[in-house]
Amino acid sequence: MAETSATPSSIATVHGYPRQGPDRELKKAIEGYWAGRVTAEELRDVAARLRRGNWRQLADAGVREVPTGDFSLYDHVLDTSVMVGAIPGRHRAAIEADTLDGYFAMARGTRDVAPLEMTKWFDTNYHYLVPELGPDTVFIADLTKPVGELREAVELGHTARPVLVGPVTYLLLAKPEPGADPGFDPLTLLDRLLPVYAQVLAALRAGGAEWVQLDEPALVQDRPRTVLEAAARAYRELGTLADRPKILVASYFDRLGEALPVLAEAPIEGLGLDFTGPAAANLDDLARVGGLPGKRLIAGVVDGRNVWINDLGRSLSTLATLLGLAGRVDVAASCSLLHVPLDTALEHGIDPQVGRWLAFARQKTAEIATLARGLSEGTGAVAGQLAANRADLASRAASALTRDPAVRSRCAAVTPQDTRRPQPYPERAAAQRAALGLPSLPTTTIGSFPQTAELRAARADLRAGRIDQAAYDERIASEIRSVLVFQEAAGIDVLVHGEPERNDMVQYFAERLNGYLATQHGWVQSYGTRYVRPPILAGDVSRPEPMTLRWTTYAQSQTGRPVKGMLTGPVTMLAWSFVRDDQPQADTARQVALALRDEVADLEAAGTVVIQVDEPALRETLPLRAADRAAYLAWATEAFRLATSGVQARTQIHTHMCYAEFGEILAAIDDLDADVISLEAARSHMQVAHELAEAGYPREAGPGVYDIHSPRVPGVEEIASLLRKALDGIAAERLWVNPDCGLKTRGWLEVRASLDNLVAAAREVRAEVTGAIG
């Protein structure tokens, strides 16, 4: 790009930063606290140390305004519920007795009290805890966290901008509390909530905040006029407060659309907008509304959700255009950097040339600082960085690692017949019932069993060379035998091998597919203390050899009951990876689907009669704007069918989804044409069973009856009650009994008790159904 001259000073900032620490110190401290090995004071010390480290890293990178309040011991939406005093009645005694234990009880539940429901944060793989609100909810400000963390940063000499979930988004994310009218709209509580936000804003101003950021990502979705009017009212009221800091309202993940003029006209001082991916449309939209004269714009031009380096020249061009649309333009990532790993410098196993194509959180902050300097001082001030960036972009574009002619030829040869099973579902169902001979309300689990310390130690020993492959394989075989023996003794009908050989449901396959890169330290928070290492999808995808055949067939050889083959579906393989951004996702999904199709064929040929292809990400990847959804669902469902449609009628195809709102995609779920679907339902009290019934879903389904994200052991009657609710919407001959999700993160003690109760409840309800029929 042509050299540009200096402009009024722009600064670098971010909306948020990874919480876990370089060695996942936060996870270890929290889990140590839960286990009684770490005191509350020690946990708080670890958290404070990590916050200080994050602010120092950001400042050293050139970030001139650091965020506070983005750090969380579990979830920032849960933190907001605490901040506004929205504590469910069942948790009030616990939080009054001990604030920290009560906080974790809301997140995880206790032996006697259920946690808050958990679901996906917009179209990401982060999970938040859903606020429970009712017509009698009373909001009371708790200033401890927002003010305390601001003061920490200010005392360390940082210019800090507190970041909070905005009031409109908070209410739109909430659901009616148990016992409330299901039609209750939490947004009707806005006038009751705004005075609490006013208190918080005043306290933050007194604590030294010049600016406070209120995040309103819910406004990037299609919203009715009533919501837009509520947003206008909220920021009119907050913006005209006498005692407040400057207010910046931030959005991300998509374009603001109809909400942009509402916020642009509000009496606030700034907006934060995403200008990456589909949100790039914000640029033209901003010009159409006349820009933000006299106001601050934080321009999210660095992708905060993916790991590829920024095109700095293109971003500077965008920023130069934005200078004419706002009173002040500062530079940021598109959203919080919570969604990317911490530092590429920790990755010693990736080819150094490929490593130059990647930017994790630390590298993104450096990119942001470079862009801010280039915008303020002119491109000449960052000429060296721009030249290196151009070279790295060119290297990636020209690399043979990204293109495989054989893969592309095979994809081009796919026909519509390849994406449909030849037999209609009723014919398949009859063949499967004859082949499997299962009782009504058959029991199964979702796939994984507890990953014990012994299993993790064996994996570490193999990597370190302390044991050889044969010794490791015997350890895996022994674990599989133990899992099978337990399931048989418990009375489970369709078994799983427990997946002891797998580190993660996406990473395991990525490590066995051409086109993927694995990281060693690329941890990203999924929820609470659950961190994952999303692989990086860098090139064309193919399967060099079978991935699951050995251990699935071994497990089947040890039992006379059917053992499910367990695969991760193509959409989830993309969604839970850092996907390539140099070709349409539909093309990448087709490549992954063809690799999985080969695996499905090998499993069937080896005698596997039940094959589960999990797609928990189908709903989470749904575009936030309705206009973009049909195209996405078309390629997503086609990819699933391409992976699964090559089997005989007697082979039963299962899929699994969890922790999302499924009502919006029921037609797509039907279009998957899976024979059986299992879905999360325990925390949502069987809501999805009734949604399936209302949609006329014709196939078999297993709405989950055991919430595996809580340490609670559900009782027999609790599970039986859920099954009876499910039977209100799903006929007994089509109802399966299963947990919400895999059991990898749970301990064996609770798993044994919970599955024993699950089988007992299934037998109890089965007897009721049989008696009623008789």
Burial class (CB in 10 A: 0-12, 13-18, 19+), 260: buried
588 vs 516: CA distance, rounded Å: 11
Collapsing DSSP states into helix, strand and coil, what is residue 296? strand
Q: Could you tell me which residues come within 8 angstroms of residue 213 by beta carbon, excluding any fewer than 6 positions away?
A: 15, 67, 161, 162, 163, 164, 248, 249, 250, 272
Bridge partners (DSSP) listed for residue 248: 213, 270
**By the 8 A CB rule, do 687 and 681 touch?**
yes
For residue 46, report the phi and psi dihedrals to the nearest 5 degrees.
Answer: -60, -45
* Neighbouring C-beta atoms of residue 271, cutoff 10 Å: 25
Collapsing DSSP states into helix, strand and coil, what is residue 615? coil
Q: Could you tell me which residues come within 8 angstroms of residue 42 by beta carbon, excluding any fewer than 6 positions away?
A: 29, 32, 33
Q: Could you tell me which residues come within 8 angstroms of residue 417 by beta carbon, excluding any fewer than 6 positions away?
A: none
Nearest CA among 425, 489, 427, 492 for reference residue 736: 492
Rounded to the nearest angstrom, the gap between the alpha carbon of residue 454 and the centroid of all alpha carbons in its chain is 28
**By the 8 A CB rule, do 63 and 368 touch?**
yes
**By the 8 A CB rule, do 108 and 115 touch?**
yes
Nearest CA among 426, 428, 421, 444 for reference residue 640: 421
Quote the DSSP letter at residue 494: B
Q: Could you tell me which residues come within 8 angstroms of residue 307 by beta carbon, excluding any fewer than 6 positions away?
A: 340, 341, 358, 359, 360, 522, 536, 578
514-517/536-542 β-pairing: antiparallel
The length of the chain in residues reads 774
Q: Which residues of 25-50 are buried (b: 16+ CB within 10 A; e: fewer)?
A: bbbbbbeebeeeebeeeebeebbeeb
Please name the amino acid found at residue 186: P
For residue 570, report the phi and psi dihedrals to the nearest 5 degrees.
Answer: -65, -35
326-333/652-657 β-pairing: unpaired
Select which of 158, 339, 497, 709 is catalytic.
709
Nearest CA among 148, 78, 142 for reference residue 108: 78
Nearest CA among 385, 342, 348, 345 for reference residue 362: 342
Structure-block tokens of residue 347: 């990755």
Helix ranges restricted to H, 15-143: 25-35, 40-61, 76-83, 89-97, 99-108
600 vs 227: CA distance, rounded Å: 46
709 a catalytic residue: yes
292-302/326-333 β-pairing: parallel
Location of structure tokens 């409840």: 761
127-129/118-120 β-pairing: antiparallel
HEC string of 685-736?
CCHHHHHHHHHCCCCEEEECCCCCCCCCCCCHHHHHHHHHHHHCCCCHHHEC
207 vs 147: CA distance, rounded Å: 6
582 vs 395: CA distance, rounded Å: 13
**By the 8 A CB rule, do 766 and 439 touch?**
yes
722 vs 711: CA distance, rounded Å: 18
**By the 8 A CB rule, do 461 and 437 touch?**
no
Structure-block tokens of residue 279: 């949100």
Catalytically annotated residues: 709
